[in-house]
Chains A and B, each alone.
Chain A
Amino acid sequence: MKRSAVPIAVAVLAAALVGLLVYGVVARKDDTSLDAAVQKGQRPQAPGSAVSLPTLDGSTQRSLAQLRGRVVVLNFWASWCGPCEQEAPVLEKAQQQLAQNGGTVLGVTYKDDAGASRDFVRRYKLTYPSLRDDKLALAPKFGTNKLPETFVLDKSGRVVALSRGEVSQTFLMQAIDRAQAS
């Protein structure tokens, strides 16, 4: 190795390691592109509409694309999540209202034991369907990595409103009204 090659090689190695570290940190950053678009008053197309997930009993698979033409309240939840218990009655109430107009709440469990999810549904007498996202095929596309999170989609599958955290009755009803009006 020539005399000048040594510091160059060390510098390249150090730069590569720093680059790797930066990439590792940046890659873990939360995706808030949906939030930004909705905040600007835009209605971005809901991501992952083709992603098919199993129902809680595993009997069939469903996707958001199959619900096109209906207002959908997409709710990510888990039985181990405290705020999810708090908002379950609010979502069930929204389901009762949506069902009259052909819409639906669609629950998606986020890394949850299937048996515990089914117990949760029974305990809160939830009548809307839920899908299992154990391998996180859908949640990350919505930037979801905490629970609960709720996205209101219009009939064209566009995101009208979103709530990161426990959803309130007022927010949900207003968002559903906007989605139904479009």
Chain B
Amino acid sequence: MRAAVLAALAVLLLAPAGAGAVQPRASFNDVEDEVMCDTCNVPLNVADSDRADQERATIRKLIAQGLTKDQIKAELKRTYGPAILAMPQDSGFSLAVWWVPVAVVVALLALLVALLPRWRRRGRADEAFAAAHAPALSEADARRLDEDLARYDA
């Protein structure tokens, strides 16, 4: 009984949200920074050319038609090809944008794994060498050191 009431409440709470859910209207700035000026090879939001102005006009027209951001990007991609999107393509040479950073991080980690034990070994050996070859304090120096330390402690 209690479970049924809870389920009914859940349905009442969620149903209006689901029924009334609409795709948000695309914002021009939000689309502009995810699209390239396809003749100047810079993002549209920093491009200054006649073609860039034409692309902006196209985006405004599509927004006015009520298309969402994803629909606008899909329409631009369908018309002008994937290079119009600022996100690199997931094929061909453009894949390098994804795998090069990963390869560099993996290589650096491998390098660290290989070098860290060696650095630590070398550090320990240096310490041991320094300890073994450190000049012994004379009796006078040792006494002075003890006195200095005692002054600090006081």
Assess the A135–B111 pair: CB atoms within 8 A: no
Main SS of chain B's interface residues?
helix
Assess the A113–B96 pair: CB atoms within 8 A: no
Assess the B110–A116 pair: CB atoms within 8 A: no
On chain B, the residues within 8 Å of A152 by CB distance are none
Interface residue tally of chain A, by bracket?
Answer: 20 to 34
A116 interface neighbour in B54, B81, B111, Cβ under 8 Å: B54
On chain B, the residues within 8 Å of A136 by CB distance are 81
On chain A, the residues within 8 Å of B96 by CB distance are 20, 24
Assess the B51–A9 pair: CB atoms within 8 A: no
Interface: B5 (CB within 8 A): no
Chain A, Cβ-Cβ closest to B115: A6
Would you give the shortest CB distance from A22 to chain B, in whole angstroms?
A: 13
Would you give the shortest CB distance from B136 to chain A, in whole angstroms?
A: 35
Would you give the shortest CB distance from B105 to chain A, in whole angstroms?
A: 11
Interface residue tally of chain B, by bracket?
Answer: 20 to 34
Give Cα distance in the complex from A180 to B109, angstroms. 67
Q: Which of A43-51, A76-84, A91-99, A166-174 contacts B (4 or more CB under 8 A)?
A: A76-84
Interface: B139 (CB within 8 A): no
Assess the A81–B38 pair: CB atoms within 8 A: no
With A27-B93, A111-B80, A134-B80 as contacts: A20 and B115 at CB distance below 8 Å:
no
Assess the B107–A9 pair: CB atoms within 8 A: yes
Chain A, Cβ-Cβ closest to B54: A80
Give residues 98-140 of B contacting A (CB, 8 Å): 100, 103-104, 107, 110-111, 113-115, 118
- Give me the interface of A with B, judged by CB distance under 8 Å: 1, 3, 5-6, 9-10, 13, 17, 20, 23-24, 27, 78-82, 110-113, 116, 134-136
The 21 listed contacts between A and B (C-beta, < 8 Å) are: A1-B110, A5-B114, A6-B115, A9-B111, A10-B107, A10-B111, A20-B100, A24-B93, A24-B96, A27-B93, A80-B50, A80-B51, A80-B54, A82-B50, A110-B39, A111-B51, A112-B54, A134-B79, A134-B81, A135-B81, A136-B81
